[in-house]
Structure 1
């Protein structure tokens, strides 16, 4: 008997095989990340400290005992590893390390509470549904919204006393990074049924959309406002090459955050804006072939400028979510970035790199701080992106 196979069946088999191949990549890469990070977990538990990066001599640099915006990323990494493996040691490490900064939920002089708590206690609540984490998110959100100024329509980023920003002459600085803290406010509105958190997040997003971005979709790093009138004093940079340059991590923050805003509001203007940012990044003449950006799109020494794996990881994670709202339009680019990050150019060999996964990230090049080193937030967004690939079965 002659058996015929339709084109539709053949196409289905091809798609299935293709999906299996991609899933094999994400599962394999996640497993390798766990192997690399396990010794770091052991050390962090023993020391009861949160790893941030490595020193010049290769030793682990721990987060600062006082203010440090990166505190939440390592517990978040541990929660994702627990979600992926169900190994209770990852859960124990996450809980131990996030307790270190629990008191920070009541800080009102810190705009990074979303980074600290949404990426740690927020992950914990989503994975375990344990109500003890819920109140922490509410408390942190109540602290964060005290920094909202109705005249400006934004949450203030940096305070201007007793720090390096005080020398800049700013009045009410708002940085593009601050968009990432809005996710916690959206979440807490859902948890509490109180729209005040969501409304502040929307107002901040709209004000930032109006004042932070150029016509081509690129963003300034810092916008300084007059806190009495809400008018713009200046548009400058602190982390980028120049005031008018496009600092790579800032562009990635914007894409990720406006995609997130669309997730919570379903307001198409946010989706369209995220796509506008994506177009600027992906069609930029200085966007590298491997998809991992230079630290600034206008760095003067391209192609010899340092790459920033953290920007690549944030970008990949943001593009994966953006693809879910655009018929997988950006999935190929996201996967390409992740495969580049998984290569020897950016992924450390087992046991090296202070046991961090990714190497070659840039913290603050203008300040000569954390250049071409691992960073805990690079690993966080890298693993988050890989988890999304796996969850989608591709």
Structure 2
């Protein structure tokens, strides 16, 4: 079985014990199936004949927003469909997953973005783990080759954005840790170590430059491509340059846990544990463990929550519990997050065009996607549910 699913689907049979009450998966997945049926209908109605719109992303003014394959979030819905298939084994979910995955294929050659892991690994990678489809394998490998073209050896990182060139020369965002999983997979699938080496270099450089003394993470670090030195550290989606944007902390926790799984380098495990400590002991983490959009947002407790950040953190904690001596603590918190997301953050069945979770925050500074459903919130919620067993 593929290593990532040793941390997800396989946990259904392994079973992790915790003193905290765990959610019951069968009824939750039954509800998720009902909502996803609503979503499939909503997508068909909204898309019409526009084949360029491949995936649901969010709600805008109550209306479903679909995005093209080039959008960084385009692969999550296909991944959700694969996870429904993984849990239920129902052929209709495999059929739908195959359809939505195929719509992503052209992105394997899109070298203009770092989000290849989000787009291709969450769709094709999740599908490959379940099907071992040789065509999926080739898409994964080609996507890793494309992503590798964004690596600068002098900097030691993969470039994140090509936009805002007036603001950053070579920006690297903490989110980019999530795209390394694609590179690790490509080395396993090909035996070519170059992908692995790029991933390790990026993880090491990010570990050196993205973290403060308390192991909170900056959002954006800008590099000089001539010297490889850091130019500046700031934010694009957080409250302030020195604040701790909640989803960014989730990306860091999940990313270094994944790097430990793939390399068994103890340094990555320790980094993940320190990030977890920052998150779990922060005085502004609410009692229900669903973080505000930024740990330092000035209006707490009257600030929007970010259910997507909570889902990423829960999923990361479930995997980290497999490797860490702090297993019991991580499982307790992850179970608490899942319980509260399930009880208080889910959409009523049949509403919200079929999204599963409500109350996520995309970019508060831009007043974009604030207190709305987001497809990646649903993706990591389903993944956390699978990892919880």
Residue 174 of structure 1 aligns to a residue whose secondary structure is strand
Measured in 1, the distance between the counterparts of 2:41 and 2:198 equals 40
- Equivalent in the alignment of 2:64: 60
Residue 303 of structure 1 aligns to a residue whose secondary structure is coil
1:51 and 2:56 aligned: yes
- Equivalent in the alignment of 2:146: 143
The alpha-carbon deviation at position 24 of structure 1 amounts to 5.8
Measured in 2, the distance between the counterparts of 1:29 and 1:347 equals 10
Q: Is the 8 A contact 1:347 1:358 kept in 2?
A: yes
Q: Is the 8 A contact 2:288 2:336 kept in 1?
A: yes
Measured in 1, the distance between the counterparts of 2:63 and 2:92 equals 23
The alpha-carbon deviation at position 167 of structure 1 amounts to 3.5
Q: Is the 8 A contact 2:254 2:312 kept in 1?
A: yes
**CA 316–303 in structure 1, closer or farther in 2 if over 3 Å, else same:** same
What are the superposed Cα offsets for residues 99-137 of structure 1, whole Å, 9 maximum, x if unpaired? 223111101111000100000000010011111100000
- Equivalent in the alignment of 2:28: 29
Q: Is the 8 A contact 1:220 1:237 kept in 2?
A: yes
Residue 186 of structure 1 aligns to a residue whose secondary structure is helix
Residue 296 of structure 1 aligns to a residue whose secondary structure is coil
What are the superposed Cα offsets for residues 128-167 of structure 1, whole Å, 9 maximum, x if unpaired? 111110000000000000000000000000014xxxx134
**CA 44–92 in structure 1, closer or farther in 2 if over 3 Å, else same:** farther
- Equivalent in the alignment of 1:254: 252
1:212 and 2:210 aligned: yes
Structure 2 spans left out of the alignment, 5+ residues? 1-14
- Equivalent in the alignment of 2:124: 121
The alpha-carbon deviation at position 228 of structure 1 amounts to 1.2
Measured in 2, the distance between the counterparts of 1:20 and 1:210 equals 36
What are the superposed Cα offsets for residues 217-254 of structure 1, whole Å, 9 maximum, x if unpaired? 10000000001110000000000000000000000000
The alpha-carbon deviation at position 66 of structure 1 amounts to 6.2
- Equivalent in the alignment of 1:271: 269
Q: Is the 8 A contact 1:45 1:97 kept in 2?
A: no
The alpha-carbon deviation at position 311 of structure 1 amounts to 0.2
Moved more, 293-302 or 346-355: 346-355
Q: Is the 8 A contact 2:107 2:120 kept in 1?
A: no
**CA 209–263 in structure 1, closer or farther in 2 if over 3 Å, else same:** same
The alpha-carbon deviation at position 28 of structure 1 amounts to 2.2
The alpha-carbon deviation at position 41 of structure 1 amounts to 2.2
The TM-score normalised by the length of structure 2 is: 0.91
The alpha-carbon deviation at position 43 of structure 1 amounts to 3.5
Q: Is the 8 A contact 1:37 1:356 kept in 2?
A: yes
What is the aligned length? 366
The alpha-carbon deviation at position 98 of structure 1 amounts to 2.1
- Equivalent in the alignment of 2:136: 133
- Equivalent in the alignment of 1:334: 334
Moved more, 199-208 or 347-356: 347-356
Measured in 2, the distance between the counterparts of 1:300 and 1:387 equals 35
Q: Is the 8 A contact 1:45 1:96 kept in 2?
A: no
What are the superposed Cα offsets for residues 329-380 of structure 1, whole Å, 9 maximum, x if unpaired? 3101000000010113x11111112210100000011111100000000000
- Equivalent in the alignment of 1:356: 355
Structure with the greater alpha carbon radius of gyration: 1
Residue 231 of structure 2 aligns to a residue whose secondary structure is strand
Higher RCO structure (Cα 8 Å, ≥6 apart): 2
Measured in 2, the distance between the counterparts of 1:84 and 1:242 equals 40
The alpha-carbon deviation at position 36 of structure 1 amounts to 1.6
**CA 92–133 in structure 1, closer or farther in 2 if over 3 Å, else same:** same
The TM-score normalised by the length of structure 1 is: 0.90
- Equivalent in the alignment of 1:6: none
The alpha-carbon deviation at position 30 of structure 1 amounts to 2.0
- Equivalent in the alignment of 2:366: 367
Moved more, 332-341 or 40-49: 40-49
- Equivalent in the alignment of 2:10: none
Aligned positions of 1:172-321 closer than 5 A: 172-321=170-319
Measured in 1, the distance between the counterparts of 2:41 and 2:18 equals 34
Residue 155 of structure 2 aligns to a residue whose secondary structure is coil
**CA 232–30 in structure 1, closer or farther in 2 if over 3 Å, else same:** same
The alpha-carbon deviation at position 206 of structure 1 amounts to 0.2
Residue 342 of structure 1 aligns to a residue whose secondary structure is helix
Measured in 1, the distance between the counterparts of 2:41 and 2:64 equals 13
Measured in 2, the distance between the counterparts of 1:24 and 1:108 equals 41
